[in-house]
Amino acid sequence: MIVAVINNKGGTGKTTVSVNLGAGLANLGHRVLLVDLDCQRSATRSVSDSSTPPEFTSADVLLHGIPANDAVVQTRVRRLDLLPGGMELAHTDLVLADVPGRENRLRDSLAPIASSYDYILCDCAPSLSMLPVNTLLAADGYLVPLSPEHLAFEGLTSLLEAVHLIEEGMEVELKMLGIVLTMVTQVRFSAFHPEVRDQREIIARVQARYGTDVFRTMITRDPAVARAPASALTVAEAAPKSRGARDFSALASEFLERTHTPSQMNESDMTPHSTNMPFGEDDR
């Protein structure tokens, strides 16, 4: 299954979710490929030693026809492979401007290796240019990391409108795998902090609007999660007992539950549901 981890808003946790959900799925026994499709190369830096640059990158695969298999490298995490990102991805729109079938470059490139993996997680750049569109068209579904901050709700609405336009323009159906709330502040540190009140309000709005599309598992804001990439480690490796490590392990389990079971979504499901929200019912 190919998954686009997408949000055109920057800094919502796309890379963190791609890396740590990927590791979580691999730790649960699945073969996972992490595809770095951002010229910032954050996913690549999060799981690999930057002192030895990769021979080929996703840019070589997408733009120059290098077989994906030649670019894939192993990571330290068992069963987690990486298709590293490259700076040249920044020029994708320009390079592919006149190339026929340019929207399907990624789908065609991944096809020969797709059966080698249970999950291929594509970490998108914060845009809706040619690259994320390629990713949506290659993917079996898309996952939206969302940090509950000011304008997040509006950003999500415009992302889903853009996805709808792509569906109409390309005559395809794109499957929403879910919205993952990230960087949720733990209440015990700041019960009456305005930021926490704002977050709760945004989370409640997102849940009321998107119902069961919102993962029950939320990713807590945890310094261990932010620190791990500095040592090129996943949070499960760097701080296995941390809240962040537990959250990503729970996210991987819920992701499996959701992707193995056909969606039962209908209007009656559109009610808020129980979550691992970092504040209790009494606190709301």
Binding site for ligand ATP (CB under 6 A): 10-16, 38, 40, 42, 126, 182-183, 219, 221-222, 225-226, 244
Measured from the CB of residue 245, what is the shortest distance to ligand ATP in angstroms? Answer: 11
Tokens of 268: 């009656």
| Nearest approach, Cβ of residue 217 and ligand ATP (Å) | 12
Binder of residue 182, out of ligand ATP, Mg ion, none (CB less than 5 to 8 A by kind)? ligand ATP
Q: Closer to ligand ATP at the Cβ: 10 or 272?
A: 10
Closer of 86 and 113 to ligand ATP (Cβ): 86
Q: What is the footprint of Mg ion within residues 25-44 (CB under 5 A)?
A: 42
The encoded tokens of residue 74 equal 């192993």
Report d(CA 211, CA 152) in Å as an integer.
16
Nearer to ligand ATP, 11 or 211 (CB): 11
From 7-15, 21-29, 52-60, 194-202, span contacting Mg ion (CB under 5 A): 7-15
57 is an interface residue for Mg ion by CB under 5 A: no
CA 238 to chain centre: 20
- Beta carbons within 10 angstroms of residue 146's beta carbon: 27
Helix (H, G, I), strand (E, B) or coil at 37: strand
Of the candidates 106, 53, 44, the one whose C-alpha atom is nearest the C-alpha of residue 75 is: 44
CB-based contacts of 111, cutoff 8 Å, min separation 6 = none
Distance CA 206, CA 244 (A): 22
Stretch that binds Mg ion, among 14-22, 83-91, 138-146, 193-201 (CB under 5 A): 14-22
Residue 141 interacting entry, from Mg ion, ligand ATP, none, C-beta within 5 to 8 Å by type: none
Strand ranges for 172-275 from DSSP E: 176-181
Using CB under 5 A, list all residues that contact Mg ion.
14-15, 42
